[in-house]
Structure 1
Amino acid sequence: MTELNQYCFSNMHKLREIQKIPNSILSIGSNAFDSTLISSFTVPLSTVNLSDSVFRDCSLLIVFTIPAGCALMNLGNFIFEGCSSLKKIECIDSAYFVVDNGGLFNKNRTSLICFPPASPINFFSFLQNVQTISPYAFYGCRNLQSILIPDNSISSIGHSAFAYCTSLKYINIPLCVKNIEQSAFIGCSNLHCGMIVQNKSISFRQTLIESSSLSPTVLKDCELITCKHDSFKLPVPNSFFYVFIEM
């Protein structure tokens, strides 16, 4: 047996624990654990592929672990969609992935793959070598309040990358960002006017508003500290504001 078929445990609402998956399993099919009640998952050492939506709506999943020596190379799309309790992704000496600042990246840190929706981290700053934010990377990260993107870093923000980050209030979009895909900010109900966009091109801004499901007010100038929408002191380092000043 080398594969767990798609939907093999889907909707088994009494499944709370996976004690042992044989190390012969090379691939786990799409939606394999969809809507189960598992609280943790450790990828088998021999597993190379996790298909799309493997853990969809696993609302009690808290920890996901890629152990040392694991052969995992490929992660499908939306594997943690609906995993509203996921707090931590662990990656121990993987040849293909790394965890940094709570987020899962490819090994050379050029692409952020995903960030746990229930992480307590409220400020996230990208390293300068990161080039892409994958689709659904921050989907539903309810504690995330502010994002810092350095100059000469991110070039592309994927589909629904920040969708339903309901606490997100501030993010900067430097000139290096060339592509923002559909619904990138849909459901960001607290992102009223805290988006700092360095590209002043009318066409870029119009495309940003139309494709990313944003209100036009997010691009209006306002005082970050005294903004009428600001109901608390933002817990971010001073360097966050230095970027805005330099723009």
Structure 2
Amino acid sequence: MDMDTDFLKFGPIKSFPKVEHKAVETFKKEIHLEKAGTLHQFLTLNEREYVTHLKITGYLNIDDIDNVLDKMTTCYETSDADEGPIIREDFPPYLKVLDLGESELVGTDCIEEFTFQSRLEHVVLPSNLKVLGHWYDGVFADSDLLETIIFPDSLEEIKTVSFQYCIKLKNVRFPKNLKIIGEFAFDGCVSITHIHLPASVEQVQCAAFSGCDALQKFTLDENHPWFSVNDGVLFSKDQTKLIAFPGGYPHKHYCVPHGTKIIGEGAFSASLIESIEFPDTLIEIEGWSFQFCENLQRLVIPPSVQIIGELAFRQCKKLKSLTLPNSISVLPKQVFGGCKNLIEIEIPPSVKTIEAYAFGGSKNLETVILHDGLEELNGFEYCPRLKHIRIPKTTRIIHAPVFTGCTSLKKIDIDQENPYFIEIDGMLLTRDKTKLLEVPFSENHSVKIPDGVEIIGDFCFQELIHLETVHIPSTLRIIGHRAFEGCTNLKKIDLPKTIESIDYRAFDDCPNLAHMQIYAEKPPKITNPENSNWGFLKDSGKLIIHVPNVLDAYLSEPGWNEFKNIKNIKNM
């Protein structure tokens, strides 16, 4: 199952490593560097493994960090089937305390990459550091023993996921010149109880404190120029935008204050609240805002709301009741993806577009009510209990694979007045019957494609695991992207003289495809045949291909010339 990469981007899902504690003798060392780049000269290989407390003064550069300190702080781990990752305490390096507070960086004012899953407990950063981290790579991420980090006053930015899943981190004191706290910077730091923002902080980005289960409140410097706090919750200065909600808010219910117009990106991400009430002043709920709120059970979105952002309520696993307003026009991608306790949903007439995975992975969703007004349909992938859906007369665009993995959906109904689509034998086609768009899940071993079909659309037969043979009409020209992917029991397919193009991934994961007979004298074009990541029909190791008496043409055509078992039809 392919998912949009954003579906897995960031979040509090993590198996926290277990640490096997073992007493290690304290070994302290202090080094002064007159010249940056010379740290390797002052530490023997044995010291790099067994030093537990290291203080460096003087001058450092990136070579010192990458080639020496990084290796001294990144530890080994094994994996346990029951417990997940285990940090090996019996393996060096053993560095626990790193003090760079009296050192200066030379040639840069930024540390982009450093340790990962380290044994560090206490860290003091260089005195002239301005930027910590990289936009995608957490500089101290997964440092499960880290308790204290001391920032220099020079620091201006903490980038994305810099301290993600530092589960013991408690003592965080931001410096007086800090301006930006990046996306998911402290995501999953479950031991932080309080965050104070100095007056210099201008931006707290998406889900910066997501999953901080012990965080009960935010506080600010007096007369903060950018933010305000109401009941421990962080708002914009004018209190029209809710920026960040403390994950460990001491009450189960929260009432968003009247006057709030926007709930910011990732504002409530992974918080522990069970219910929420929105004011009638609310206009927009930005993306990621309530993702992973796994205790949230009921949701009524008021008619004042015009925009809901992507992934806004993703993985709200206990959400059972959802009321949407007749004021929104788009349900964006993954907005309610993975809400596995939703059983029924009514989409209001105002919604014109439902995007990919909008309700994808909602495992108990049985009933979906769509109204006239809907123009563009997607978003119900992997809803295995969805039994019935009726496509309104106004729907003119259907994106594949809208119903992949809907194993209880046996038929797709179309409003008789819809001028764009038609249903034949439960299958979804364009009204002119030239393009097959979707074949619902079935336990049938054989499917007959209606006469006149010229195109098999993208993902059309995806994951029809019982399918063994397909009867294809003499009019077929094109097989679309990943059209038969995951048809693990597909054994035989015959392609007519008219076939012109086959997607290079059309038959991915078809390990039992053993016979393909092609009647086209001109070899069909394989889209993107030189793609280095996939080989055409790469999963069909048993496959024998038979072609007309033009074998040389196939053997000289890119993609087809990779097959050893390609023969003339007369040799069958």
Counterparts of 1:43 and 1:142, CA distance in 2:
29
2:339 & 2:524 partners in 1: Cα distance?
Answer: 49
Which one of 426, 433, 456 corresponds to residue 102 of structure 1? Answer: 426
Report the counterpart of residue 82 of structure 1 in structure 2: 405
TM-score by structure 2 length? 0.35
State the alpha-carbon separation in 2 of the partners of residues 111 and 137 from structure 1: 10
Change (3 A) 1:127 1:35: closer
The sequence identity of aligned pairs, in percent, is: 27
Per the TM alignment, residue 114 of structure 1 is displaced from its structure 2 partner at its CA by: 0.8
**Normalized against structure 1, the TM-score is what?**
0.75
1:3 partner letter: S
Identify if the C-alpha distance between structure 1 residues 215 and 25 changes in structure 2 by more than 3 Å, giving closer, same or farther: closer
The 1-side partners of 2:511 and 2:544 are apart by 15
Q: Secondary structure at the match of 1:196?
A: strand
Aligned partner of 2:367: which letter?
A: S
**How much does 1:127 deviate?**
3.1
Instruction: Indicate if the aligned counterparts of 1:56 and 1:78 stay in contact, CA closer than 8 A.
Output: yes
Q: Distance in 1 between matches of 2:469 and 2:374?
A: 35
Query: Could you give the per-residue CA deviations for residues 204-233 of structure 1, whole angstroms, max 9, x where no partner exists?
Result: 79x6x9423353642257xxxxxxxxxxxx
The structure with more radius of gyration: 2
Which of 507, 512, 518 pairs up with 1:197?
518
Distance 1:85 1:174, change over 3 A: same
Query: Cα distance, 1:10 vs. partner?
Result: 2.0
How far apart in 1 are the matches of 2:421 and 2:524? 36
Aligned to 2:122: none
Cα deviation, residue 165, structure 1: 1.1
Within the alignment, does 1:34 sit opposite 2:360 as a pair?
yes
Aligned residues: 214
Could you give the per-residue CA deviations for residues 166-203 of structure 1, whole angstroms, max 9, x where no partner exists? Answer: 222221011211110021111123222x3222246679
Give the Cα separation in 1 of the matches to 2:524 and 2:329: 48
Name 2:498's counterpart in structure 1. Answer: 176
| Aligned counterparts of 2:330 and 2:525: Cα–Cα separation in 1 | 45
Letter in 2 for 1:189: P
1:203–1:138 Cα change, 3 Å: closer
Distance across 2 between alignment mates of 1:27 and 1:204: 34
The answer on whether the counterparts of 2:446 and 2:467 sit within 8 Å (CA) in structure 1 is yes
- Name the structure with the higher strand share: 2
Contact 2:391–2:414, Cα closer than 8 Å, also in 1: yes
- Shift of residue 101, structure 1, vs aligned partner: 2.4
CA drift of 1:82 comes to 3.2
Q: How many angstroms apart in 2 are the aligned matches of 1:119 and 1:89?
A: 12
CA distance, structure 2, for counterparts of residue 122 and residue 166 of structure 1: 12
Gaps of 5+ in 1: 222-243
Which position in structure 1 is the counterpart of 2:460? 137
- Structure with the bigger RCO (C-alpha within 8 Å, sep 6+) is 1
What amino acid is the match of 1:131?
A: E
Long gaps (5+) in structure 2:
1-326, 547-568
- CA distance in 1 between counterparts of 2:465 and 2:403 reads 14
Whether the aligned pair in 2 keeps the contact of 1:180 and 1:212 (CA below 8 Å) is no
Which residue does 2:476 correspond to in 1? 154
Instruction: Please list the CA deviations of residues 69-92 of structure 1 after superposition, one character each: whole Å capped at 9, or x if unmatched.
Output: x21111123222333333221123
Aligned AA (1:64): I
Cα RMSD (Å): 2.8
- The alignment partner of 1:63 has SS state of coil
